Structure 1
Amino acid sequence: MSKEKAFGDEKHPEKRDGDKLGDIEHTCFGPENEEESFIEEVRVTVSNKDDPTLPCNTFRMWFLGLGFSAAIAFVNQFFYMRQTGVTVSYPVVALLSLPLGHLMARTLPTTRYSLFGYNFTLNPGPFSIKEHVLIGTMTSINSYSAYAVDIVVLQKVFYHDEKPFIAGLLLVWTTQIMGFSLAGVLRKFLVESPYMIFPENLVTAALFRSLHSGRDSSAATKHSSLSKYFLIVVFVSFAWHFLPGLIFPTIGVISWLCWIKPDNVILAQLTGSYGLGIGTIALDWTAISAYISPMVNPWFAQVNGIIGFVVFAYIIIPWAYYNDLWNSKKYPIVSPELFYENGTYYDVSEVMSNGRLDRDKYLSNGPMRMGSSSALAYGLGFAGLCATIVHVALFNGRDIVERWRTGRHKHEDIHTRLMRAYPEVPDWWYGALFIICISLSIATCAIWELMPWWGVILALCIALIFVLPIGVVQAVTNQQPGLHIITEYIFGYIRPGYPIDNVTFKTYGYIVNIQALAFVLDLKLGHYLKIPPRIMFMTQLVSTAVCSTINLATAVWLVDTRPNICTREGYPFTCRSTNTFYAASVIWGAIAPARVFGQEDGAIYSPTQWGFFIGALAPIPFWVLTKMYPNVRWLQLVHWPVLLTLIGNMPPALPYFYTNGFFWGFIFSFVLRRYRFGWWARYSYLTSAGLDTGVALATIIIFFTLQIHGKVKIPHWWGNPNMDIDWENASIEEKNAASLDHCYHGYSNYFGEQG
Structure 2
Amino acid sequence: MTVDSRHDYHTEKEDNMDEKHDVEHASVVLDEENNSPIPEVAAVVSITDDPSLPTLTFRYWVMAILFSCLLSFFNQFFWFRTNPMSISALVIQLVSYPFGKFMATVLPAGRLNPGPFNIKEHVLVGLTANCAAGTAYAVDITVIQKVFYKQDFGFLANFLLILTTQMLGYGMAGVLRRYLVYPAAMVWPANLVQVALFNTLHKDEDLAPGQWSRYKFFLVATFTMFCYQWLPGFLFPIMSSIAWLCWINPKSVLLAQIGGDKGLGIGAISLDWNNICAYLVSPLVVPWWAQVNIGIGVFLIAFVMSPIAYYTNLWDAKKFPINNSKLYTTSGQIYNTSAVMTNFVLDEDKYAAYGPLRITTFFALTYGVGFAGLSSMITHTWLYHRHKLVAQWRQSREHSEDIHHRLMQAYPEVPDWWYGGLFVLMTVVAIGTCEVWDYKLPWWAVLLGIALSCFFVLPVGLIQALTNQQPGLNIITEYVIGYILPGRPIANVTFKTLGYISMVQALTFTSDPKLGHYMKVPPRAMFWAQLTGTFIAGLVNLLTANWLLTSQHKVCTEENKDFSCPYVNTYYSASVIWGVIAPNRMFGPSSIYNSINYFFLIGLVLPIPFYYLKKRFPNTWMEMIHIPVILASTGMMPPASPYHYTNWLAVGFIFQFFIRRYHNEWHLRFTYILSAAFDAGVAFMVLLSFFIFGIRNKNMVDWWGTRPDLCPLNGAPTIAPLE
* TM class, shorter-length: over 0.9
Structure 1 residue 346 displacement after superposition: 2.0
Structure 1 residue 319 displacement after superposition: 0.7
Partner of 1:285: 273
Partner of 1:229: 217
Unaligned runs of 5+ in 1: 1-6, 112-120, 724-738
SS in 1 for 2:23: coil
Question: Partner letter of residue 167 of structure 2?
Answer: I
Structure 1 residue 605 displacement after superposition: 0.8
Structure 1 residue 307 displacement after superposition: 1.5
SS in 1 for 2:574: helix
CA distance in 2 between partners of 1:370 and 1:55 (Å): 56
Partner of 1:327: 316
CA distance in 2 between partners of 1:95 and 1:31 (Å): 34
Question: Partner letter of residue 612 of structure 2?
Answer: V
Larger deviation: 457-466 or 328-337? 328-337
Larger deviation: 181-190 or 414-423? 414-423
Question: Partner letter of residue 540 of structure 1?
Answer: Q
| Contact 1:748/1:754 (<8 A) preserved | no
Partner of 2:384: 395
CA distance in 1 between partners of 2:547 and 2:265 (Å): 41
SS in 1 for 2:56: coil
| Contact 1:488/1:589 (<8 A) preserved | yes
The residue correspondences of 1:104-123 to structure 2 (distance < 5 A) are 104-111=103-110, 121-123=111-113
Q: Deviations over 1:546-577 (max 9, x none)?
A: 33233334545666788876667899776664
Structure 1 residue 454 displacement after superposition: 0.5
Q: 1:745 to 1:428 in 2, by over 3 A?
A: same
Is 1:510–2:478 an aligned residue pair?
no
Structure 1 residue 360 displacement after superposition: 2.6
* Candidates 671, 683, 690, aligned match of 1:703: 690
| Contact 1:191/1:523 (<8 A) preserved | yes
Q: 1:561 to 1:681 in 2, by over 3 A?
A: closer
Partner of 2:442: 452
Is 1:750–2:718 an aligned residue pair?
yes
| Contact 2:325/2:573 (<8 A) preserved | no
Q: 1:33 to 1:146 in 2, by over 3 A?
A: closer
Q: Deviations over 1:198-244 (max 9, x none)?
A: 12111222222223232x533x4642001001111111111111111
Q: Deviations over 1:638-684 (max 9, x none)?
A: 21100101122222211111111112222211122222111111111
Question: Partner letter of residue 250 of structure 2?
Answer: P
Structure 1 residue 718 displacement after superposition: 2.2
Q: Deviations over 1:583-615 (max 9, x none)?
A: 432321121111211135xx3111111111100
Q: 1:662 to 1:157 in 2, by over 3 A?
A: closer
* Candidates 363, 366, 374, aligned match of 1:374: 363
Is 1:481–2:455 an aligned residue pair?
no
Larger deviation: 568-577 or 455-464? 568-577
Partner of 2:250: 262
CA distance in 2 between partners of 1:62 and 1:306 (Å): 43
Partner of 1:179: 169
Partner of 2:3: none
Structure 1 residue 496 displacement after superposition: 0.5
The residue correspondences of 1:244-643 to structure 2 (distance < 5 A) are 244-289=232-277, 290-291=279-280, 293-410=282-399, 412-450=401-439, 451-556=441-546, 577-600=567-590, 603-629=591-617, 631-643=618-630
Structure 1 residue 102 displacement after superposition: 0.9
Q: 1:314 to 1:550 in 2, by over 3 A?
A: closer
CA distance in 1 between partners of 2:74 and 2:586 (Å): 37
Question: Partner letter of residue 51 of structure 2?
Answer: P
Partner of 2:663: 676
The residue correspondences of 1:94-109 to structure 2 (distance < 5 A) are 94-109=93-108
CA distance in 1 between partners of 2:599 and 2:200 (Å): 45
| Contact 2:21/2:619 (<8 A) preserved | no
Q: Deviations over 1:396-418 (max 9, x none)?
A: 11101110112255471222122
Structure 1 residue 687 displacement after superposition: 1.4
CA distance in 2 between partners of 1:634 and 1:414 (Å): 32
TM-score where L is the length of structure 1: 0.88
Q: 1:620 to 1:612 in 2, by over 3 A?
A: same
Question: Partner letter of residue 671 of structure 1?
Answer: F
* Candidates 678, 682, 686, aligned match of 1:691: 678
Partner of 1:736: none
Structure 1 residue 17 displacement after superposition: 5.3
Q: 1:377 to 1:423 in 2, by over 3 A?
A: same
Q: 1:398 to 1:56 in 2, by over 3 A?
A: same
Is 1:238–2:226 an aligned residue pair?
yes
Structure 1 residue 24 displacement after superposition: 3.0
SS in 2 for 1:224: coil
| Contact 2:93/2:122 (<8 A) preserved | yes
Q: Deviations over 1:54-109 (max 9, x none)?
A: 32211110111012212333444455556676644413322322221111100111
CA distance in 2 between partners of 1:517 and 1:206 (Å): 21
Structure 1 residue 719 displacement after superposition: 1.8
Partner of 2:706: 720
| Contact 2:124/2:526 (<8 A) preserved | yes
CA distance in 2 between partners of 1:671 and 1:158 (Å): 47
Unaligned runs of 5+ in 2: 1-6
| Contact 2:383/2:611 (<8 A) preserved | yes
| Contact 2:18/2:289 (<8 A) preserved | no
Partner of 2:4: none
Q: Deviations over 1:169-204 (max 9, x none)?
A: 322221111101111111111111111111211122
The residue correspondences of 1:110-259 to structure 2 (distance < 5 A) are 110-111=109-110, 121-155=111-145, 158-159=148-149, 162-163=152-153, 165-214=155-204, 216-218=205-207, 220=208, 222-259=210-247
Partner of 2:67: 68
Structure 1 residue 524 displacement after superposition: 1.1
Structure 1 residue 162 displacement after superposition: 4.2
Partner of 1:661: 648
Larger deviation: 668-677 or 143-152? 143-152
| Contact 1:745/1:752 (<8 A) preserved | no
CA distance in 1 between partners of 2:604 and 2:616 (Å): 20
SS in 2 for 1:714: coil
SS in 2 for 1:147: coil
CA distance in 1 between partners of 2:339 and 2:528 (Å): 48
CA distance in 1 between partners of 2:21 and 2:225 (Å): 27
TM-score where L is the length of structure 2: 0.92
CA distance in 2 between partners of 1:753 and 1:46 (Å): 59
SS in 1 for 2:705: coil
Structure 1 residue 534 displacement after superposition: 0.7
Partner of 1:51: 50
Q: 1:388 to 1:353 in 2, by over 3 A?
A: same
CA distance in 1 between partners of 2:138 and 2:16 (Å): 47
| Contact 1:151/1:500 (<8 A) preserved | yes
CA distance in 1 between partners of 2:287 and 2:564 (Å): 38
Structure 1 residue 364 displacement after superposition: 2.5
CA distance in 2 between partners of 1:65 and 1:626 (Å): 47
Structure 1 residue 616 displacement after superposition: 0.6
Larger deviation: 636-645 or 556-565? 556-565
| Contact 1:321/1:328 (<8 A) preserved | yes
Q: 1:415 to 1:426 in 2, by over 3 A?
A: same
Q: Deviations over 1:478-516 (max 9, x none)?
A: 111111111111100011012221111111101101110
Structure 1 residue 159 displacement after superposition: 4.5
Partner of 1:24: 23
CA distance in 1 between partners of 2:532 and 2:29 (Å): 41
